[in-house]
Structure 1
Amino acid sequence: MGFGWRRRRSTAGNNGGKKVESGIGDRRELELEELAIPNHFLCPISLELMTDPVTLSSGITYDRESIERWLEAGNFTCPVTNKVLSSFDQIPNHALRGMIQDWGTENCRHGVKRIPTPRVPVAPFEVSEVLSGIEGASQRVDCAECSELVGKIEKWGGESERNRRCIVANGAASMLARAFDTFAATSNYRQIGGNLLEEVLSALSWMFPLDIEAHHYLASRSSLNCLVWFLKNGDIEAKKHAILTLKELSSDEKQTGALADTEGLHETLVEFIKHPSNPTITKASLSVTLNLISSCRRGDEERLVFVEMCLVSNLLEILIDSSDKSVCEKALGVLQGLIGCEQGREKAYANLLTVPILVKKVLRVSATATDFAVSSLWRLCKDESSRDHQGRALVDALQVGAFQKLLLVLQLGCADETKEKATELLKLMNPSRAGLECIESADFKNLKRSF
């Protein structure tokens, strides 16, 4: 059976402007040669060379990664024999692996890469043992021992995706969150536990989404205060892990109240948005803000808090400067939320760039961004509480080509809610089109028809 490894048999150099070839045969500069792999070295599932052969109870050998995917998909049979497996144990086939490695070494001149000895996957009982150790070390507030054990979890997780799944499946997230809460509650954690807490956050970052129990521990007052402390005082990595943890918590509406009551959180979020230094931190800060102002329980209060911190003008600056699709979507989402309150609309009206920026983003970023931009325009142009501002917003929208863009939104297709708002905006603008409407053709050059 042929396999896709190939080698070069000749090299080229320069000799008076002419290429010099080495080797025998036809001496072509790039002579490629296929290499046949023994059939018993191939995984019956992937038909590729096995790097970690394991044998099932059926006696058939597979590559570990392939058979694990098969079993995790809910299959209970051997793929070759189609018989129900009496056990799901995967026994390493050391003899076959050694033969494959020897074969690879012998054929290295053909371009076969060295086949390393695979790491033994972590077993559930090993994970449980380490987690029990973390629990005990947390109860004793033994920072050194807990740090060593968390390091093991990190090491295992870094070795393979399979290890990560095993670690998460055995309840690591809730245990690490409990340890974080315990050490965060100590009055001197900044001195004795700062590094440990960073390690815990780093490990948790690849366990998202977290379970309910983990949310409970991370949403405690001590944990949230510690997370904000990292946002203010940690290095870039610590800040990233802390803000991503807050993003995870804010996605659960039950926790938004606790987040909203955390001292210093709002100021820190606005600071990250106002002075973007890292894309991950900026996006996560916008996501946390969006989740807070979208909360059914505290949304109105949160909007007012962020409006008073001049977040509206900061968002408009981001929309002018940023070309990142995700950042623009989130910034438009937050802006739409803030415009939902009267104070937010006042701030938006006060900035002459608000309407032009919103119109500019329609059909220029993504469907989600268009939905947010149209919704924001609708809120500004339908504001019954301020007739003067409402009329000015309609005029500004017409003068920057909003009418034609909204027609295109309807023609190209959009969400039902956006369609209703776009239609209503068109009705409001239509009587004033004469003498006011302006079309910016550059915005329509690259649009694709929906038919």
Structure 2
Amino acid sequence: MVREKRRENLCVTVPTLFRCPISMDVMKSPVSLCTGVTYDRSSIEKWLSLGHNTCPATMQTLLSTHTTPNLTLRRLIHHWLLHPDMSPSPPLPLPPATSKRQVREIINGSVSCDSLSKIVDFMKASEENLKFIAFSDDAVSKFVEFFGNCKEIEVCELIVELLDLILSENGAKEKLNSLILKSNKDSLSSFLLVLREGSVKSKIKSARILELIALNSESQRKIAENGGILYELYSLIAVEKDRLAIQAGLSALLAISTSRPVRKELILFGIVKTVGEILSNTNTVRAVIEKALGILEMVATCTEGREAISEDEKCVVEIVRRLMKCSNVATEHGITVIWSVCYLARDQTAQEKVMKVNGLTKVLLVMQSDCSVSTRQMCRELVKVLRVKNSKSCLASYETKTTHIMPY
């Protein structure tokens, strides 16, 4: 009886603020979306991994799927859980809010972990506070300058979080591009440190920042030429299992790898095999599939890339399997890759792989779908080259339900 009563009290006395809006359980690791709603990390990451792009509580479309740890709420929950009887208690007072005057004093003084934590909390407190920092040239310049000279991973991670918050404001990409890439400070080395030694969350934010400041060919070249960054971004998709980390790594590589030398370097890393593994995973979500196929389309522009795609055991087969099953974007990327290896390169190994998995039927279906003019033209050219692989009839390998489709 006592135990039942205690469980009853527990259910009644759990503060609503401490419950995850999805699971309704007490949050273990509260994180906030860009809408301001806080969820337990495991619940919201599961929601996002299913391909949703909305806030579950408000159903607003998310401008960003990045989450921010709600440290204050986590401290409150932790304090509440420490009470052995789990009885109701007065709420733990929130730490005093940092004022704009105090922020100015921090900016004009020395930078430390404690001062940076206060700045980050200040920025998260309101949109007004965020804009106050984002549009302060002195503040942003000082943080970037300090970042370029910093070798402490904890401090670097805090500055990365701060810069990631700033990126949501108008003109921030251009400002950070100028400060990070055109200054004499070695900020890229600090990004490399975070990508090597930081938490997964910090790596994701670093990749996002690098992607968004790669505004032109000069910026892309500077980032790619910095020793190690390209490989660490590749490692983010090859080693990490976190879906958001893989997506961030692919996005950054797509933004940075615009030159032939960089693409050849990625091929040497093993990007084709890694992407093949990603595509073969049945749990891979749409956003990741689209970016993975985008990477393959990018590397297929060079001879080495086409050869690697043709020789890989999974790539061509998985591309054909994904046609018409993910999105129009993914299908058009996929057709371009198949066209590059089968028609442009005339690779017989790739042609045979396509035919073995009924690829000709898929190409015909894509050609009859609502695809772009260029994709439809590539499909026509693929039909011409693939029909040669069948000596009996160009329709011999078609499935019954598609024999009515004429290739021309």
Determine the structure 1 residue equivalent to 2:307: 346
CA contact (8 A) 2:143 2:159 kept: yes
| Cα gap change, 1:256 to 1:131, in 2 (>3 Å) | farther
Correspondence 1:373 to 2:334: yes
| Partner SS for 1:218 | helix
Correspondence 1:215 to 2:215: no
Amino acid at match of 1:199: L
Residue deviations 1:348-392 (CA, integer Å, cap 9, x gap): 2222333211111111111111011000000001234xx5xx233
Larger radius of gyration: 1
Correspondence 1:200 to 2:159: yes
Residue deviations 1:52-76 (CA, integer Å, cap 9, x gap): xxxxxxxxxxxxxxxxxxxxxxxxx
| Partner SS for 1:205 | helix
Deviation of 1:428 (Å): 2.1
Match of 1:156 among 80, 105, 122: 122
| Cα gap change, 1:200 to 1:399, in 2 (>3 Å) | same
| Cα gap change, 1:333 to 1:441, in 2 (>3 Å) | farther
CA contact (8 A) 1:286 1:331 kept: yes
| Partner SS for 1:206 | helix
For residues 195 and 175 of structure 1, the distance between their equivalents in structure 2, rounded to whole angstroms, comes to: 22
| Partner SS for 2:165 | coil
RMSD: 3.2
For residues 380 and 106 of structure 2, the distance between their equivalents in structure 1, rounded to whole angstroms, comes to: 59
Determine the structure 2 residue equivalent to 1:44: none
Amino acid at match of 2:289: C
Amino acid at match of 2:175: E
Deviation of 1:431 (Å): 4.0
Determine the structure 2 residue equivalent to 1:326: 287
Correspondence 1:143 to 2:111: yes
Match of 2:352 among 377, 381, 395: 395
Residue deviations 1:196-254 (CA, integer Å, cap 9, x gap): 33222212222225242222222356111001101111123322322222222235444
Determine the structure 2 residue equivalent to 1:420: 377
Determine the structure 1 residue equivalent to 2:364: 407
For residues 401 and 378 of structure 1, the distance between their equivalents in structure 2, rounded to whole angstroms, comes to: 15
Determine the structure 1 residue equivalent to 2:32: none
Amino acid at match of 1:143: V
CA contact (8 A) 1:175 1:214 kept: no
Deviation of 1:134 (Å): 4.9
Deviation of 1:180 (Å): 3.3
For residues 399 and 377 of structure 1, the distance between their equivalents in structure 2, rounded to whole angstroms, comes to: 14
Correspondence 1:247 to 2:215: no
Identity of aligned residues (%): 21
218-227 or 425-434: bigger deviation: 425-434
Q: TM-score when scaled to structure 1? A: 0.60
Deviation of 1:312 (Å): 0.9
Deviation of 1:441 (Å): 8.5
- Tell me how many residue pairs correspond in the alignment: 302
Deviation of 1:429 (Å): 2.3
Deviation of 1:334 (Å): 0.6
For residues 128 and 354 of structure 2, the distance between their equivalents in structure 1, rounded to whole angstroms, comes to: 53
Q: TM-score when scaled to structure 2? A: 0.66
Larger relative contact order (CA 8 Å, sep ≥ 6): 2
Determine the structure 1 residue equivalent to 2:196: 232
Deviation of 1:262 (Å): 0.9
- Give unpaired runs (5+ residues) of structure 1: 1-120, 445-451
| Cα gap change, 1:441 to 1:358, in 2 (>3 Å) | farther
| Cα gap change, 1:309 to 1:441, in 2 (>3 Å) | farther
Amino acid at match of 1:183: F
Determine the structure 1 residue equivalent to 2:64: none
For residues 408 and 429 of structure 1, the distance between their equivalents in structure 2, rounded to whole angstroms, comes to: 14
Amino acid at match of 1:214: L
